[in-house]
Amino acid sequence: MKKLYPFLAGIALVSFGGLASSTVAQIKLSNQPSDRSVHPTQSILQAQASTTESKPQSVCPLSSEIAVTFLDSKCQAVVLEAPRTYYRYYSTDGNKYGRYLTTDRYERNVDAIRNLALNQAWGNQATMMMTVTVPAGTTVYEGIVAAQDPPSCYVGGGQQTFIENTRDPNLVWSAGTPMQVERFQCP
């Protein structure tokens, strides 16, 4: 039996990897946004990476200018089977209706800025939050937010969803609600 222990432990790890992968898939395809104020921990990201290392990684099918906003330029095209609600963080009418959405709900603007890598040179201070319901049949692109320069300030790691057409008349944009606003400081 002692000789079989390493073999059985290996089978258990392989089984756990499949379980983690299916759990991640269930979380990704959930119809409801998540409620978290901090980005996913590094261990979760490493667990996701380790469960997919044996599978070939797909490259994001979007233009390179958009793909680089996803971690390692990797995203997945998903056709929504049912309407799905996302969050959009913005600070002015000029950046209210954008193509970048998330399933992550943040209470504080500084968490959204860091985890969604909202470089403050772009002008989005994430002082407002709105929900966006995207209709069934829409193709969205999902992945993890890549860090922006400087990465010590804009770490990324949050969930990112990209939609191609913000003018789709079937999108339902809610009225914005104020965020808890704190002064953003780059470490």
What's the pLDDT tens digit per position in 125-170?
999 999 999 999 999 999 999 999 999 999 999 999 999 999 999 9
What's the pLDDT tens digit per position in 76-127?
999 999 999 999 999 999 999 999 999 999 999 999 999 999 999 999 999 9
Q: Which pTM was predicted?
A: 0.72
Whether the per-residue pLDDT at 18 is higher than 80: the answer is no
Determine the average pLDDT of the residues in 39-44: 41
Is the bond leading into 83 cis (omega within 30 degrees of zero)? no
Eight-class DSSP state of 175: P
Whether the per-residue pLDDT at 73 is higher than 90: the answer is yes
Instruction: For residue 76, report the phi and psi dihedrals to the nearest 5 degrees.
Output: -125, 130
The predicted structure's pLDDT at residue 131: 98
Query: Which ranges of the chain does DSSP label H, i.e. alpha helix?
Result: 5-28, 42-52, 64-67, 109-115
β strands within the chain, DSSP E: 34-35, 76-79, 84-90, 100-101, 104-105, 128-134, 139-144, 159-162, 172-173, 177-178
Amino acid identity at 89: Y
Confidence of residue 58 (pLDDT cuts 50, 70, 90): low
The answer to whether 176 touches 130, Cβ cutoff 8 Å, is yes
Instruction: For residue 162, report the phi and psi dihedrals to the nearest 5 degrees.
Output: -110, 130
Determine the average pLDDT of the residues in 62-74: 97
At 67 the three-state DSSP class reads helix
